[in-house]
Structure 1
Amino acid sequence: MTSSELSVRAPKVAEAARLLIEARASRQPIQAPPPELAPADEAEAWAIHEAVVASLGPVVAWKTGAPTPEAEPGMGLITADTVRPSPAAVAADAFLLGAVEAEIAVTLGRDLGPRAEPYSPEEVLDAVRTWHAAIEVLDTAFADWAATPAVWRIADRQSHGLLVLGAGAAERPSVPLARLPVVLTIDGETAFAHEGGNTGGDPVRLLTHLANARRGSGRPLMAGDVVTTGSTTPFLRAAPGQRVRAIFEGLPEAELTISPA
């Protein structure tokens, strides 16, 4: 959006952001969002997303992903208060949704700052300091997450709730990331086990797209940022008392316990 469009839409953006923040904080889901606050397009949804995040703290991580290997990836901002080292524990009533996904994440060792020329995949990989198994917990401000329109999900922090990072490995896994074996366990029992599984295809494509999408912005990717590259496992809601582990070949595992409320 242009600066003049942002100015015109600012009251709507602020009110929509307030609605989302209050729903998550109170654990009172939105049954039917007011039609007048619905994002008119992805640009307005992103403006709401940024307004929500600005109220929550500094951005230290990003999420990216895509529904197919050919689709343009999306992105989301992640604040410091929702990033935890593994093993982590969280109360079941901390989330309205509480779905868990196994993901491959990275921590950057140098900036991928502003420049005119796009970054190549090799340059992006060279900027990675450590590789991580991760668990993302999805959350929502809405009573019916599955029926929530895509623009509202973008506005609602791309459904981000929590990111649990396994210890970092300096070496990239030897198996191509698009085929990296993954196992997600619940209380020691295998829930999913397969090779690859990321709907967006190769995580390198997703990382590179994000770096280039942000390189001309006021907040590009920076050294120390974490980027998680999308789910490699199907949608699964974790129950109170369960212990979830994400295991990728060649990486230290990530673990999350859902404590009873």
Structure 2
Amino acid sequence: MDIALQRELARLLATLRREGRQQSGLDQRLVPPDNATAYRVAGMVAEELGWDVVGWKIAAMKEGLQRQLRTDSPIYGRVMMPVVPSPATVEHAKVCSPIPEVEYQAILGADLPPRERAYTMEEVTEAVVSLHPGIELAECRFVHDAAFPPLPAILADGAGSGIIACGEAIPDWKTRDIAGQEVVLSCNGTLRRKGTAGELLDHPMVPLTWLANELSRTGVGMKAGQIVSTGTLTGMLRPKPGDTFVADFGPFGSVTATYA
């Protein structure tokens, strides 16, 4: 896929994001041939938009979600929509193929720039200034129909990144049982899902360390102040207009998001 086609795809995806709309399928000549090309296009999308990269999202740390997302490795994307405090409200009609994903959100207090030596989990943990309960309000520029394109097209679109709804910081999170804490997701008062970081991520710092090294390897890096959505704890659901989701992290607080 030559640079002209990469730029054409980037312009298309930037236009869809800017105008808040989707399309069905993608011309085969614009489908990136591999993930590396897709991530380069995602960087071009950010350049085309000129929006601040407020953070990053991670998905598919373990095999179960990798199968659902048609990948054999974790994936990531830039977050360019605003981070909003809980309780959050978005208009269902203005969100493209919405999916609420319950996740721990890490905010960096120090840069993690590209370097030759790999980052250790201890170094990455030290760079995190706070950890929060949250819900990623993911979306996608491609309609989920029979023409839905292959994964590299989704990665070029930021891996489905959307708005992050963020709760209050978890006090003393480095000494708490983050991995073992059960998280409960309800919709309109009805229990829908349960999960733990231990089951889906091992610990939020595991995917964060993976991302730090992936971005370092490709010469991108992360910056202080950015937020990282570390991966879903309760899988993926399709909301209906009017649905209100509450993610209960027990002693770590709760987060609410409504699709008005």
Fold conserved between structures, TM > 0.5: yes
Q: Is the 8 A contact 1:197 1:233 kept in 2?
A: no
Q: Corresponding residue for 2:96?
A: 96
**Normalised by the size of structure 1, how large is the TM-score?**
0.86
The AA in structure 2 aligned to 1:82 is P
Tell me the number of residue pairs that the alignment of Structure 1 and Structure 2 aligns: 251
Mean CA deviation greater in 27-36 or 104-113: 27-36
Instruction: Give the deviation of 1:150 after TM superposition.
Output: 1.0
5 Å-filtered alignment, 1:104-143, equals 104-143=104-143
Structure 2 distance, partners of 1:145, 1:240, is: 19
Match of 2:158 in 1: 157
- Give, as a single letter, the amino acid of the residue that structure 2 aligns with 1:97: S
What amino acid maps onto 1:99 in structure 2?
Answer: I
Q: Kindly report which structure 2 residues correspond to 1:164-243, keeping only aligned pairs within 5 A, or say none.
A: 164-172=165-173, 176-196=177-197, 199-243=200-244
**CA deviations over 1:63-108 (Å, ceiling 9, x no partner):** 11325269642221111x3322222111111112111110011111
Task: Show the counterpart of 1:38.
Answer: 31
- In structure 2, the CA distance between the partners of 1:51 and 1:145, relative to structure 1 (3 Å rule), is farther
How high is the TM-score relative to the length of structure 2? 0.86
In structure 2, the partner of 1:251 is 252
Cα deviation for residue 20 of structure 1 reads 2.4
Partner of 2:40: 47
The aligned residue for residue 58 of structure 2 is 64
Q: Is the Cα–Cα contact under 8 Å of residues 59 and 75 in structure 2 kept in the other structure?
A: yes
User: Does the CA contact (< 8 Å) of 1:198 and 1:231 recur in 2?
Assistant: no
Kept in 2: contact 1:86–1:164 (CA 8 A)? yes
Residue type at the aligned position of 1:233: T
Give the Cα–Cα distance (whole angstroms) in 1 for the partners of residues 124 and 171 of structure 2. 15
Identity of matched residues, %: 30
User: Paired residue for 2:6?
Assistant: 13
Distance 1:56 1:244, change over 3 A: farther
Alpha-carbon distance between aligned partners in 2 of 1:177 and 1:169, rounded to the nearest angstrom: 10
Q: Which has the higher strand share?
A: 1
Residues 1:99 and 1:35: Cα distance change in structure 2 (over 3 Å): same
2:69 aligns with none
SS in 1 for 2:251: coil
* C-alpha distance 195-53 of structure 1, shift in aligned 2 (>3 A): same
Distance 1:205 1:195, change over 3 A: closer
Partner of 1:58, secondary structure, is: coil
Q: For the structure 1 residues 20 and 252, does the alpha-carbon distance in structure 2 shift closer, same or farther, using more than 3 Å as the test?
A: same
Q: How far off its partner does 1:184 sit?
A: 0.9
Aligned partner letter, 2:45: V
CA RMSD of aligned residues (A): 2.4
Could you tell me which amino acid in structure 2 is paired with residue 42 of structure 1?
N
| Mapped contact 2:24–2:145 kept (Cα < 8 A) | no
Residues 114/28 of structure 1: CA separation in 2 closer, same or farther (3 Å cut): closer
